[in-house]
Amino acid sequence: MALNSRQWVWAAVTPLLLCGAIRAWAAEPAPAVGVLQMRPDFYMLTVEGTNIGVETGQEGVIVVDTGPPQDAQAVLGEIKKISVAPIRYVIDTSADPKFAGGNAVLSDAGLSLEVGWAPLLQAANHIRDIRALDSKRAPIIARLGVVAQLVGSQAQGNTLGASLPTDTFTRAEFNFRVNGQAIQVVSMPPAHSQSDSVVLFRGSDVVVTGAIFDDTRFPVIDLAHGGGINGEIDAVNQVMNTLVVGDVPVVSNSGGTWIVPVHGPVCDQVDLLTYRDMLVAVRSRVQALIERGKSLSQVQSADPAQGYETRYGSDTGSWTTRDFVAAVYMSLKTGKHAQPAGGRS
């Protein structure tokens, strides 16, 4: 059947329109940052699989870990949607880029509590005043070892795009109070590294664990920066036994403390207990093989992570099951012998 002129035009144009629509759809970027409201005042942001804690209130916003440097502006944009209040504190639980990479952007966008609302409003009409507030950006809290690791990384040419922590500590806890609740930055034993910390928001009843708890894979143990399997287990036990409350008795229907892991969904005390038991089991198996004189390759071939690989393991990627077993083996071989695991209290 012959086509008239109008049909010929549509036959020629339709494929072009469809191709253009497909290209436009394919080019449309997916949301870079996921946002989950856990409590009325607490949010979990997820960017490239890494979780960030955000607490809000009348006095301002507290951010725990800032995400990779390339995602800092996207994270800041989502925080501004959550609250119009300024960022008052940034807390780093580790020195890795996924934890501290966005420090500079989020800190520069914030405002120290030393600067109240009145000077800020006044500065809105005075350029000189705004420049004077540059030195009053949000402080960055971290253990002192985080600074040393960041400086060492930058000295090797690894530019993180992150400013160094400004409020550092070496004691067991760094405690302060904002938005009507106590906030505890708690030092951990050498787990992922020798500078790990976790953050408890006591009023919100939320714990942000940083690198010591990863609900999607075996923990990354950074031997070069002091991490070890014994410290990893000790750290998880400390969080579980002193900072996290379970939903017992069940009749109270309280739900218990929510836990924000470095990767994965929101967790609770039972998830942490399951993780701890896995760590203890793998450590015990590797320790037994070491005592029998097995080499690293022999230990890896014996598959001491068997039974947990489906849940936490991987044969590919930046951290495989073999990497984890090797880290457990090496940390035990350095003389840090396995200690009995503390029970659940």
262 pLDDT higher than 50:
yes
Residue 154: the pLDDT is 66
Q: Residues of the chain with pLDDT > 90: what percent?
A: 72
Is residue 10's pLDDT more than 70?
no
pLDDT at 77: 97
More confident residue, 20 or 235: 235
CA distance 140 to 65: 10
pLDDT at residue 253, rounded to an integer: 56
Cα–Cα distance measured from residue 291 to residue 287, given in angstroms and rounded to the nearest whole number: 6
Instruction: Kindly report, residue by residue over 182-228, the tens digit of the pLDDT.
Output: 999 999 999 999 999 999 999 999 999 999 999 999 999 999 999 99
Q: Exposed, middle or buried, 241 (CB in 10 Å: 0-12/13-18/19+)? A: middle
Contact (Cβ atoms closer than 8 angstroms) between residue 196 and residue 212: yes
Per DSSP, 124 falls in state T
Q: How far apart are CA 341 and CA 80, in angstroms?
A: 43
121 CB-contact burial (10 Å; exposed 0-12 / middle 13-18 / buried 19+): exposed
pLDDT for the residue 163: 81
Average pLDDT over the chain, rounded to an integer = 85
Q: Does position 344 have pLDDT exceeding 90, yes or no? A: no
* Structure confidence at residue 105 (pLDDT): 95
Of 3-7, 64-68, 246-250, give the range with the top mean pLDDT.
64-68
Highest mean pLDDT among 78-82, 120-124, 243-247, 254-258: 78-82
- The CATH class given to the 25-274 domain equals alpha beta
What integer pLDDT is reported at residue 152 of this predicted model?
84
pLDDT of residue 29: 60
> Is 263 in contact with 217 (CB distance < 8 Å)?
yes
> What's the confidence (pLDDT) of residue 157?
53
**279, amino acid identity:** L
Q: If pLDDT is split at 50, 70 and 90, which confidence band does 255 have?
A: confident
Cα-trace Rg, the chain = 24
Neighbouring-strand partners of residue 200: 184, 207
Q: Is the pLDDT of residue 3 over 60?
A: no
For 63-107, write each residue's pLDDT tens digit.
999 999 999 999 999 999 999 999 999 999 999 999 999 999 999
CA–CA distance from 121 to each of 57, 125, 127 (Å)?
Answer: 19, 8, 12
Q: Which of 48-57, 63-72, 329-338 has the lowest average pLDDT?
A: 329-338
Q: What is the mean pLDDT of residues 237-259?
A: 81
CA distance 75 to 202: 24
Q: What is the pLDDT of residues 269-301, one digit of tens each?
A: 999 999 999 999 999 999 999 999 999 999 999
pLDDT at 135: 55
